[in-house]
Chain A
Amino acid sequence: MDSTAEILLERFSGDADTDRTAARDRFRDAGLPTPKQEAWKFTNLRPLTQFLDARTEPANDSTPAIPDTLVDGAHRVVIIDGRIDGDLSDAGIDGLSLDQGGTLQADMGGRRAVRDLSIAMADDGLRITLDANAAPSQALELVFIGTGSRSGGHHFTLEIALGSNSALTVVEHHLGSNAYAATLATDVRLADGARLRHVKLQDESIEAFHLSDCAVEIGRDASHERFVLSVGSRLARDEVHVALNGQGSSVRLLGAYAGRGQQHLDHTTHIDHAVPNTSSHEVYKGVLDDRSRGVFQGGIRVMKDAQKTAGHQLNKALLLSRQAEIDSKPALEIYADDVVCSHGATAGEIDEDALFYLRARGIDAQAAKSLLVQAFLDEVFDDIADEGLRERLKDRVHGALQVEGAAHG
């Protein structure tokens, strides 16, 4: 038993919930993952330990500023340091029910450390259920704010269940200030014909840890579109496991990230094509500057019966400094024969010819660089249907890179 597990035990001894107990036991037995484990080869959670210890003094005490919604007219739930703030939340959407608390099923098969940790230590949770056939025009926005005023980290569980033929847009906005650890475990279940658009902006404090594990089950003819933009955190891992369980189901996973300083940004995805006629499309693009490090692990598994599967995966990184690094590990396991699968991974530097061309037209080196970086990233944003949201996210990533540029001089 390692020290983190001990801390956990102390915090939750006497908890009766069986799923939580199961998660706690699993976590206690295994402890925090180490780079010795294949799934954590590139991401070391050791520095996280102190932030999970509830006995340490909180770093500071601040009142959070609540940001504007990313989607115009979105209803929202505000979660501060892992707890829903009812006064700041307004989520009256027709056909949608929100239940506070609840927990998730811990055992998803295989070891899922972040999931176990979140479930075991959850401060609060939210269950979102949408009626069959409902398709509210407003988006639901979940604003997670970390203030660094509570030690022990903030842990939350989220469940999103869409009834058959319903459609919903859920936006997650993670932000904060000071140092803290935030974990999130999410279950998404899409009934037949349901459509979920899920957009996540990870813009945590640059001193924070952000760990999330999302499990998605997609039913017949249902579709899921997920977009994640990661710009915050000193260390972040965004892990998604998708099970295409119904015929005709599809998933699109898109990601963009911008790392600078010493940031470590990990995107880990796994897609299971379990039945015939399913498709997955995956594009992750990252820009890494300074000594930042990116990790992309993309697993696609096509089961024996899953004929007529289409699976495409692309991972591209643009390295702006010699010290920046990307570790990319695609893993395709294909057991069916009638499939079309492809994957590609590239890492490159800024195109010097293009840079000079722009400068020769009067555009200074910094602006030219950022134009090229934008051009590199923009394609991933095209999928975001809501224009306001798309532009806000683009501004955010370009802003992050520009501030960085200015610091370079």
Chain B
Amino acid sequence: MLKIENLHVEVDGKEIIRGLDLEVPKGEVHAIMGPNGAGKSTLSYTLAGRDGYTVTDGKVTFQGRDLLDREPEERAADGLFLGFQYPVEIPGVATLTFLKTAVNAVRRQRGEEEYDAMQFMKLVRGKAKDLNISDEMLKRPVNVGFSGGEKKRNEILQMAVLDPAFCLLDETDSGLDIDALKVVADGVNALRGPERGMLIITHYQRLLDHIIPDRVHILAEGRIVESGDKNLALELEKKGYASFGTDRAA
């Protein structure tokens, strides 16, 4: 469903992703682990289409179609969702307004009918409740004054409401307390299905206790240096990154 071949990405003239290959078939959940600065967030921003992330070589196909020539909003409409490592605060834009604008923008691009206020509220209330997000939070400006954990839950709420075909989660577990981790993991697991793919970036095995991955990849110095099943994460926890060839030529 998502296929990355020999991807090279530069940021500010510096090569960060250096020949990365990865394939996530539909119905599977893959995890990426890797040391700080390895290029995990760079990969997610590149996939989501952020300006300033220049692809100098390689190819990415999403659902059989070239992803890289699509605008960020088109990628979202195609069903790619990025849960941000650092969700952005947007003063002055109420969370509800934002969610409604987003969900209807996506529906419009997909040729589906837009939700009216009633349908939308029903959808959001249900999902928000599952994620312990209060009405009061929904009225606040997007992520403004949200705690770290609340921001991450808000990402999962957006994901649930947008109902994407593919979820790319960049350290959604960072900053979550144990209960919130469970809530978020449940939110993610609820979306797991035979038609959906997921790529989960994390530093911690504990998230993978809740969301059991089909494959685990280690990303270091801009490429995948090791892939395996869920046991790779356990092994990593014990041995650290050093044993996985991260000291390969820079």
List A residues at the B interface (Cβ < 8 Å).
Answer: 351-354, 356-365, 367-368, 371-372, 374-376, 378-379
List B residues at the A interface (Cβ < 8 Å).
Answer: 48-51, 71-73, 75-77, 82, 84, 87-93, 97-98, 101-103, 105-106, 109, 141-142, 158, 162
Contact A354 B90, beta carbon cutoff 8 Å: yes
Contact B109 A362, beta carbon cutoff 8 Å: yes
Of A360, A362, A374, most B-chain CB atoms within 10 Å: A362
Nearest-CB residue, chain B, relative to A379: B92
CB-based closest 4 A-B pairs: A375-B92, A362-B76, A362-B106, A361-B102
Instruction: List, in ascending order, chain B residues with CB within 8 A of A354's CB.
Output: 88-90
Residue A362 contacts which of B77, B90, B93, B142 (CB distance < 8 angstroms)? B77
Known: A358-B90, A379-B92. A363 touches B73 (CB 8 A): yes
Nearest-CB residue, chain A, relative to B159: A361
Contact B76 A375, beta carbon cutoff 8 Å: no
Instruction: List, in ascending order, chain B residues with CB within 8 A of A356's CB.
Output: 48, 50-51, 72, 88
Contact B102 A363, beta carbon cutoff 8 Å: yes
Nearest-CB residue, chain B, relative to A357: B88
Starting from the known contacts A360-B48, A361-B76, 6 additional A-B residue pairs (CB-CB under 8 Å) come to A356-B51, A356-B88, A359-B76, A361-B98, A363-B101, A368-B73
Contact A365 B73, beta carbon cutoff 8 Å: yes
Nearest-CB residue, chain A, relative to B92: A375
Residue A376 contacts which of B89, B92, B105 (CB distance < 8 angstroms)? B92
Q: List 21 A-B contacts (CB under 8 A).
A: A354-B88, A356-B48, A356-B88, A357-B84, A358-B98, A358-B102, A359-B73, A360-B48, A361-B106, A362-B105, A364-B71, A364-B105, A367-B101, A368-B73, A371-B98, A372-B90, A372-B93, A374-B92, A375-B90, A378-B92, A379-B92
Contact A360 B105, beta carbon cutoff 8 Å: no
Q: Kindly provide the distance from the CB of B172 to the nearest chain A CB, expressed in whole angstroms.
A: 14
Contact A353 B88, beta carbon cutoff 8 Å: yes
Q: Kindly provide the distance from the CB of B203 to the nearest chain A CB, expressed in whole angstroms.
A: 22
Q: Kindly provide the distance from the CB of B237 to the nearest chain A CB, expressed in whole angstroms.
A: 31
Contact B76 A360, beta carbon cutoff 8 Å: yes
Distance of A378 Cα from B84 Cα, bound (Å):
27
Nearest-CB residue, chain B, relative to A377: B92
Instruction: List, in ascending order, chain A residues with CB within 8 A of B98's CB.
Output: 358, 361, 371
Distance of A396 Cα from B132 Cα, bound (Å):
38
Known: A356-B50, A371-B93, A372-B93. A362 touches B73 (CB 8 A): yes
Instruction: List, in ascending order, chain A residues with CB within 8 A of B82's CB.
Output: 360
Instruction: List, in ascending order, chain A residues with CB within 8 A of B103's CB.
Output: 362
Distance of A150 Cα from B86 Cα, bound (Å):
59
Contact A362 B51, beta carbon cutoff 8 Å: no
Known: A352-B51, A357-B84, A358-B98. A364 touches B90 (CB 8 A): no
Q: Kindly provide the distance from the CB of A371 to the nearest chain B CB, expressed in whole angstroms.
A: 6
Residue A361 contacts which of B49, B97, B141, B162 (CB distance < 8 angstroms)? B162
Distance of A379 Cα from B91 Cα, bound (Å):
10
Q: Kindly provide the distance from the CB of A390 to the nearest chain B CB, expressed in whole angstroms.
A: 15
Nearest-CB residue, chain A, relative to B82: A360
Q: Kindly provide the distance from the CB of B195 to the nearest chain A CB, expressed in whole angstroms.
A: 19
Distance of A78 Cα from B90 Cα, bound (Å):
42
Distance of A160 Cα from B88 Cα, bound (Å):
47
Instruction: List, in ascending order, chain A residues with CB within 8 A of B89's CB.
Output: 354
Instruction: List, in ascending order, chain A residues with CB within 8 A of B102's CB.
Output: 358, 361-363
Of A357, A359, A361, A365, most B-chain CB atoms within 10 Å: A361
Distance of A375 Cα from B144 Cα, bound (Å):
13
Instruction: List, in ascending order, chain A residues with CB within 8 A of B87's CB.
Output: 357
Distance of A186 Cα from B102 Cα, bound (Å):
46
Nearest-CB residue, chain A, relative to B78: A362
Instruction: List, in ascending order, chain A residues with CB within 8 A of B76's CB.
Output: 359-362
Distance of A365 Cα from B103 Cα, bound (Å):
15
Nearest-CB residue, chain B, relative to A368: B73
Of A352, A360, A375, most B-chain CB atoms within 10 Å: A360
Contact A375 B51, beta carbon cutoff 8 Å: no
Instruction: List, in ascending order, chain A residues with CB within 8 A of B105's CB.
Output: 361-364, 367
Instruction: List, in ascending order, chain A residues with CB within 8 A of B50's CB.
Output: 356, 360
Distance of A215 Cα from B84 Cα, bound (Å):
52
Instruction: List, in ascending order, chain B residues with CB within 8 A of A359's CB.
Output: 49, 71-73, 76
Instruction: List, in ascending order, chain B residues with CB within 8 A of A363's CB.
Output: 73, 101-102, 105
Nearest-CB residue, chain A, relative to B101: A363
Q: Kindly provide the distance from the CB of B142 to the nearest chain A CB, expressed in whole angstroms.
A: 8
Instruction: List, in ascending order, chain B residues with CB within 8 A of A376's CB.
Output: 92
Distance of A354 Cα from B71 Cα, bound (Å):
16
Q: Kindly provide the distance from the CB of A351 to the nearest chain B CB, expressed in whole angstroms.
A: 8
Q: Kindly provide the distance from the CB of A404 to the nearest chain B CB, expressed in whole angstroms.
A: 19
Contact A371 B101, beta carbon cutoff 8 Å: yes
Q: Kindly provide the distance from the CB of A160 to the nearest chain B CB, expressed in whole angstroms.
A: 33
Q: Kindly provide the distance from the CB of A236 to the nearest chain B CB, expressed in whole angstroms.
A: 26
Instruction: List, in ascending order, chain B residues with CB within 8 A of A364's CB.
Output: 71, 73, 105
Q: Kindly provide the distance from the CB of A156 to the nearest chain B CB, expressed in whole angstroms.
A: 36
Instruction: List, in ascending order, chain A residues with CB within 8 A of B49's CB.
Output: 359-360
Distance of A372 Cα from B88 Cα, bound (Å):
13
Distance of A356 Cα from B73 Cα, bound (Å):
9
Distance of A359 Cα from B101 Cα, bound (Å):
11
Distance of A353 Cα from B85 Cα, bound (Å):
13
Distance of A358 Cα from B84 Cα, bound (Å):
12
Distance of A128 Cα from B76 Cα, bound (Å):
57
Nearest-CB residue, chain A, relative to B84: A357
Nearest-CB residue, chain A, relative to B79: A362
Contact B162 A362, beta carbon cutoff 8 Å: yes
Instruction: List, in ascending order, chain B residues with CB within 8 A of A358's CB.
Output: 90, 98, 102
Instruction: List, in ascending order, chain B residues with CB within 8 A of A374's CB.
Output: 92-93
Distance of A364 Cα from B141 Cα, bound (Å):
20
Nearest-CB residue, chain A, relative to B99: A361
Instruction: List, in ascending order, chain B residues with CB within 8 A of A367's CB.
Output: 101, 105
Distance of A368 Cα from B142 Cα, bound (Å):
13
Contact B72 A360, beta carbon cutoff 8 Å: yes
Residue B93 contacts which of A352, A353, A360, A375 (CB distance < 8 angstroms)? A375
